[in-house]
Homo-oligomer: A and B are copies of this chain.
């Protein structure tokens, strides 16, 4: 079905699609034994989450075909992959909370978290393969590449924690691998399913990567300036862990000698977590880091739109995707 009914709207119906995704996940194939393996999987899959990645896959498919049904199962495959990365990353970051609830390795233990993470990943491949057979090879190949990007990005991220200085360029490369690549792939997968040609698929992937870069910078912002009740993570967690976020990197770049000396003292001293977060945040305010970051986010959004403009598909669908993407970047949680 390739209708161009301008009364049709994916964006307006987003909640309906999220409900459908949640229903398919809840009724999914995660009931086997042993229960010690599958209970943590059901737990993390039902702790909410924005279901952003499968929504992007639906959008990618919708742009070119006007329908979303064929994109549902593979899109859920990416959501499963995303949850695999969350479980393993939370072990590595020693994170206590995720989406306002205990992380898997805290609620159970680390071994359960490693193994249930691995299991979700195999389930992810199972869902991803539910595309027309001629697409399977490309889908799995592109997914493998994307997944390796994510691992490399996570390793760079951990390596950065042990370094004094990280350049803006290095940081942007890292988040491109760790976060943006998956958003790009989510859309690319939808485009393939929707029958897009190579140029359109590539342009949509690049749109997604730039949205992803903005999305991660927003995440960095929310870690400091977010509202715990909405954000569901420990506020200031990145500061406590000395994470080299965009905010910290810009602050180091812009601070004068005296400010930098103080900053290093707070990062490597023995302040309480609360005091450390307070002082670093105060410095961010003095250096207008928030405004700078918001400006950078806007730049990525503009680049994303130039890619979207190149894509050959009904205009109103592109507008919907632009609106949806802008809501991601303007989110408060």
Does A2 reach chain B (CB closer than 8 Å)? no
The answer to whether B151 touches A115, judged by C-beta atoms less than 8 angstroms apart, is yes
Provide the bound-state CA to CA distance between A304 and B140, in Å: 34
Does A119 reach chain B (CB closer than 8 Å)? yes
Does A144 reach chain B (CB closer than 8 Å)? yes
Interface of chain A, helix or strand or loop or mixed? Answer: helix
The answer to whether A114 touches B92, judged by C-beta atoms less than 8 angstroms apart, is yes
Partner of A37, one of B33, B37, B144, B155: B155
Does A118 reach chain B (CB closer than 8 Å)? yes
- The verdict on A115 contacting B34 (CB below 8 Å), with A122-B148, A147-B122 known, is no
For chain A, residues 113 to 153, give those with C-beta under 8 angstroms from any C-beta of chain B.
Answer: 114-115, 118-119, 121-123, 125-126, 129, 133, 136-137, 140-141, 144, 147-148, 151-152
- The verdict on A156 contacting B121 (CB below 8 Å), with A114-B91, A136-B137, A144-B126 known, is no
Q: Report A103 CB to chain B, min CB distance, Å.
A: 14
List chain B residues, Cβ under 8 A from A133.
Answer: 137
Partner of A122, one of B33, B110, B136, B151: B151
The answer to whether B33 touches A111, judged by C-beta atoms less than 8 angstroms apart, is no
- The verdict on A92 contacting B111 (CB below 8 Å), with A34-B159, A125-B125, A137-B133 known, is yes
Task: A91-B111, A92-B114, A119-B151 given; name 14 further pairs at CB < 8 Å.
Answer: A34-B155, A36-B158, A37-B152, A88-B118, A92-B115, A114-B114, A118-B151, A119-B152, A122-B151, A125-B144, A126-B144, A129-B137, A129-B144, A140-B140
**10 closest A-B pairs by CB:** A37-B155, A119-B151, A92-B111, A122-B147, A34-B155, A122-B148, A122-B144, A126-B144, A125-B144, A136-B137
